[in-house]
Structure formats: structure tokens, C-alpha cells
A = this chain, B = another copy of it.
Amino acid sequence: MKKRELDSCPICHNLNIDDEESFLDDLKCAFRYYEKNDTIVLQGQLCDALYVLTIGKVRAETVSENGAIINVETVDAPRPLAPAFLFSDNNRFPVNIIALEDVEVIVIPKSEIVRLMMTNPDFMQNYLAHNANRTQFLTSRLQLLSIKTIKGKLAHYLLEMARNTDQPFIVDKNQSELAELFSVARPSLARSLSEMVQDGIIQIHRREFRILDINKMKNLIV
């Protein structure tokens, strides 16, 4: 593994220099290469090694029991794939992972990961931090989805983006992306937005938003 790749990986960056040589020397790992549309991991497959996506882009999809694709997520290198599942009691991949372009994956056996953690505190904390951040992401996503109305979701989302100021701010998603994030239909989202504008709660110009009435906004979150 080259140093460049090492540094760019979220669980391998900022490691103590002294450790880095021994870190690299003995690491047992396999390099795998895939082409577009290759299947890298099959849903349900045993997960006994860490898959680190170092080059390229993949799609992670959940397939329901009748074959319909429920959930899709695109993952860009560099990132570990499903690092939490390596240590879970039910250690099987929850998704299919498919190459969207030419891809390099480094496969590191679980035993090696454990060894690295035991010998390198920085690596261990990186790993923990990465999983922790993932948990936080999932928690906030769950909180968003458990708000029942579209306006409630918008209020929650926009208040976070605005950070308690009444200054205008730019939202980095278009309506379609927002609708997907909220798991609602795009025209419904547009309707809710225009109703909030009519009610004098917000102002919108393209992707620039401004909160006019913070209290009404907060009351939308039930």
C-alpha cells in the first residue's frame, strides 16, 4: 500500500510516523480490481475482512425479497465498506456492492485489523471514530425520517442548515435530492415549500433560503 493511499483513507490517516513502517511491512492484505458493473460483494455474504475502497466509485444497494431494489447509496473512494459489520454478531454484508467504474479494493483480514488496532492506538481511534461518525449519521437520518410531515422535515433540515441565524444560506441539494433524502415525492416537496413561502415562514430564491419566522418554523416539528 502506498503512503498516498494510506493517508487518504479515513481510518488510516494521521498515523504515528514511527509506526507506519511496521504498519505497512507486515500487513497481510489482498488487492482486488474490478471493472464497471462487476459485483464486489453480494448481500448476505460473510464479512470476515475489511474491504477498503481505494480507487473508484461503487453502488451499495439493498435488495428486497421480491428482487426490487429498495435503497441505493453511492460510495466514493477512499472509504472502508461496511466497517461496522466486520465485528457484529451477524457479520454478513447487508447490501450488494457493485462497481460503477474501474475500482481497486484492498481486502484486509479481520485478524490483521485486530492486530493493527492492538499495536497502533491511532489506527484504533480512527477506526472507532469512523464507526462512531457513521452511527451519528444514521441517528440523525433516523430522527429526520421519524418526523411525519414534509414541512416538519423541512423545518428540521433548514434550521440545521441555517444554524440559528436569520441570514440567507445556500442549500447544497436540489429539490429532487431533498425529496429523496426525506423519502417523499418531489412535487409534494415543492408544494410544501411554496406553502411555507405563502405563510411567510421562509423566502426562497433558487437554492438560497432565508428563514423569516423561526418560531413558526420550530412549531412545524412535531
Contact = CB atoms under 8 A, between A and B. Distances in A.
Contact of A183 (B135, B140, B141, B148): B148
A34 interface: no
A184 to B, nearest CB: 8
Mostly helix, strand, loop or mixed at chain A's interface? helix
A218 B63 CA distance: 12
Interface of A: 62, 64-66, 68, 70-71, 84-91, 94, 114, 117-118, 121, 124-125, 128-129, 131-136, 138-143, 145-148, 156, 159, 183, 215, 218-219, 221-222
Given A125-B114, A183-B148, A135 B138 contact: yes
7 contacts: A70-B143, A71-B146, A84-B132, A84-B136, A87-B132, A138-B139, A145-B183
Contacts of A146: 70-71, 145, 183
